[in-house]
Chains A and B, each alone.
Chain A
Amino acid sequence: MIRFDDVTKVYPGSKHPALNSISLEVSKGEFVFMVGASGSGKSTFLRLALREEKATKGVVRVSGKDVAKLSTWKVPHLRRTIGAVFQDFRLLPNKTVFENVAFALQVIGKPRHAIAHTVPEVLELVGLAGKEQRFPHELSGGEQQRVAIARAFVNRPAILLADEPTGNLDPNTSVGIMRLLDRINKTGTTIVMATHDHEIVNQMRKRVIELEHGNMLRDEVAGVYGYSR
């Protein structure tokens, strides 16, 4: 699904690479944690997969396609196959829960009846049935993140990238979000999640990739957050 071949990313104006010769492959249906200290390059990895940034060196493949070779007008089509969730939810404050999720379909030109059909379905899936007409400020942080996940997943992407999705949530709420992501993963969606959350990583026992200063430190099946920490 996602394959990095000797990928290096150096941001313009910085001397040290944010990612340094990273080679790895994430297969279809996998659940992968990316861990590492702040600034180790986790978000950079996700941005490269989304083609928000281009690799300085090496090849980034998503669903078999070299993303660097995509023409500008094809990049949106790549992004339709990838859902993304962030620490800060990124909801539109003046739209309701329903409208926030529907927005993702409207802007890619989905017809109205399809939207009316799919949005309640996905809201049900993330456990927000009955809260469709609430505004983001009327929801808890955990519920807001569920809206964001619903929006990322409503188009049934093959890949879901999550950048510290529980970073702003208390441990209990985080567990709820993790259950949801696990459920989504079980539907066959590949998930890559960057996180600092020890407990979650240790509990879930999924594949763990650790980065340090842009280098890959380890890549373990059913790993834990870290031995030294």
Chain B
Amino acid sequence: MRFQFIVDEILIGLRRNIAMAISVVLVTVVSLFLVGLGFLAQRQVDTMKDYWYDRVQVSIFLCGDGSTAAGCADGKATEAQKEQIQADLAAPQLAAYVDKVYFETQDEAFKHFKEQFKDSALSENVTVDQMPESYRVDLKNPEQYQVVAELFTDKPGVETVESQNEVLDRLFALLNQLKLGAWMLAAVTLICSVLLVATTIRLTAFTRRRETGIMRLVGASNFFIQLPFILESMIAAAVGAGLASVALVGVTKFQIQDRLAQSLTFTNYVGVGDALMVVPWLFVIGLGIAGVSAFLALQRYLKV
């Protein structure tokens, strides 16, 4: 009885306020979609960090013939200098940073170069002598490449220290900014949806003041009077969260996986699995916000 009655009341309410219900749904869709994008951007940064930092090395290039760097005053790096560098890399104070060290000979460097540029005219003109020797250092925490870089720059026998990290740092800074932007837009639209839910409740409370007045008079509990309002906004929010989830999964599948991942292959991307992990959060946030703002609005507009 009670249940059937509440369901009927809610359906009547939704039908009577269909335009408001739709607007609540739409604002919820947009804000939750942005929240989802924020989450996905975060996942994307993490994915890229995993992907790239696995592949990142610090390369300590040694002086060759004709190097002009500060550390190359003695010309081509000597065996003694190499030993010194190797010893420094193995020193206990670097043990916390350095994972593995490889030595790349001129022959190996030449081979890699040929492979990398095999379709280019560049590879025709280089000789083995022109290739630098180098130490390739795998780091335990790739984000701390600076420590190693500073230690070996301008050391005797070292021409330059290089790492892809500088590029990556800039890339991640950009992605972080995008993420922040998504969060901020999400926050603004979430505030909109809170205000809209409150306004909707106020209007609904007004159009239903006859019913609620009678309910109060005959002794319906506050909970019973307020429940239809709260449920209505939660239903609208749930529909919104559902649509936002579909949109989010759709974007990951069709825009990111089927298009972006096919055309820009330099990294991996967030997948449908990541999007699905975000979905429950969209429902939690959507329903939570609708429920709380409905409750607060009722305290103001539906005095019992």
Quick check: A109 and B2 within 8 Å, CB to CB?
Answer: yes
CA distance A77 to B222 in the complex (A): 11
Chain B CB within 8 A of A178 CB: no
Question: Given the interface contacts A106-B1, A110-B1, A111-B1, does A90 sit within 8 Å of B219 by beta carbon?
Answer: no
Chain B CB within 8 A of A159 CB: no
CA distance A228 to B215 in the complex (A): 41
Chain B CB within 8 A of A193 CB: no
Chain B CB within 8 A of A112 CB: yes
In the assembled complex, the CB of B5 is this many whole angstroms from the nearest CB of chain A, namely 5
Quick check: A72 and B304 within 8 Å, CB to CB?
Answer: yes
Quick check: A72 and B222 within 8 Å, CB to CB?
Answer: yes
Quick check: B211 and A92 within 8 Å, CB to CB?
Answer: yes
Please encode chain B, from 211 to 224, with 1 for each CB lying within 8 Å of some chain A CB and 0 for all others. 10111111111101
CA distance A103 to B214 in the complex (A): 9
Q: Which residue of A lies closest to B4 (CB)?
A: A112
Quick check: B216 and A79 within 8 Å, CB to CB?
Answer: yes
- By size class, the interface of chain A is 20 to 34
Quick check: A76 and B219 within 8 Å, CB to CB?
Answer: yes
Q: Which residue of B lies closest to A50 (CB)?
A: B217
- When the two chains form the complex, which single residue of B2, B5, B221 contacts A73, counting CB atoms closer than 8 Å? B221
Q: Which residues of B contact A81 (CB under 8 A)?
A: 219
In the assembled complex, the CB of B234 is this many whole angstroms from the nearest CB of chain A, namely 20
In the assembled complex, the CB of A87 is this many whole angstroms from the nearest CB of chain B, namely 14
Please encode chain B, from 196 to 221, with 1 for each CB lying within 8 Å of some chain A CB and 0 for all others. 00000000000000110111111111
A-B Cβ contacts below 8 A, count: 61
Chain B CB within 8 A of A104 CB: yes
Quick check: B213 and A90 within 8 Å, CB to CB?
Answer: yes
Question: Given the interface contacts A90-B213, A103-B214, A109-B224, does A78 sit within 8 Å of B2 by beta carbon?
Answer: no
Question: How many B residues touch A, CB cutoff 8 Å?
Answer: 18
- When the two chains form the complex, which single residue of B1, B213, B222 contacts A76, counting CB atoms closer than 8 Å? B222
Q: Which residue of B lies closest to A114 (CB)?
A: B1
Q: Which residue of B lies closest to A112 (CB)?
A: B1
Quick check: B218 and A155 within 8 Å, CB to CB?
Answer: yes
Quick check: B221 and A104 within 8 Å, CB to CB?
Answer: no
CA distance A13 to B1 in the complex (A): 44
Please encode chain A, from 80 to 118, with 1 for each CB lying within 8 Å of some chain B CB and 0 for all others. 111010000010100000000001101111111001000
In the assembled complex, the CB of B2 is this many whole angstroms from the nearest CB of chain A, namely 5
> Which interface residue of B213, B216, B218, B222 has the most chain A CB atoms within 10 A?
B218
Quick check: B220 and A76 within 8 Å, CB to CB?
Answer: yes
Q: Which residue of B lies closest to A106 (CB)?
A: B5
Q: Which residues of B contact A111 (CB under 8 A)?
A: 1
Chain B CB within 8 A of A9 CB: no
Chain B CB within 8 A of A151 CB: yes
CA distance A84 to B222 in the complex (A): 18
Quick check: A151 and B211 within 8 Å, CB to CB?
Answer: no
Q: Which residue of B lies closest to A115 (CB)?
A: B1
CA distance A109 to B225 in the complex (A): 12
In the assembled complex, the CB of B197 is this many whole angstroms from the nearest CB of chain A, namely 23
CA distance A155 to B219 in the complex (A): 10
CA distance A78 to B218 in the complex (A): 9
Q: Which residue of B lies closest to A94 (CB)?
A: B12
Q: Which residues of A contact B220 (CB under 8 A)?
A: 76, 107-108
- When the two chains form the complex, which single residue of B5, B214, B222, B224 contacts A92, counting CB atoms closer than 8 Å? B214
CA distance A100 to B5 in the complex (A): 13
CA distance A82 to B216 in the complex (A): 12
Q: Which residues of B contact A128 (CB under 8 A)?
A: none
The 4 closest A-B pairs by CB, nearest first: A80-B219, A79-B219, A107-B220, A104-B218
A-B contact pairs, 24 of them (CB 8 A): A73-B221, A75-B304, A76-B220, A76-B222, A77-B219, A78-B219, A79-B218, A79-B219, A80-B218, A84-B217, A90-B213, A92-B214, A103-B218, A104-B214, A106-B1, A106-B5, A107-B220, A108-B220, A109-B2, A109-B224, A115-B1, A151-B214, A151-B218, A152-B218
User: Can you add 14 more A-B contacts, CB < 8 Å, to A92-B214, A109-B1, A109-B2?
Assistant: A50-B217, A73-B221, A76-B304, A80-B219, A92-B210, A104-B218, A107-B5, A108-B218, A108-B219, A108-B220, A110-B1, A151-B214, A155-B218, A155-B219
Binding site for B on A (CB under 8 A): 50, 72-73, 75-82, 84, 90, 92, 103-104, 106-112, 115, 151-152, 155
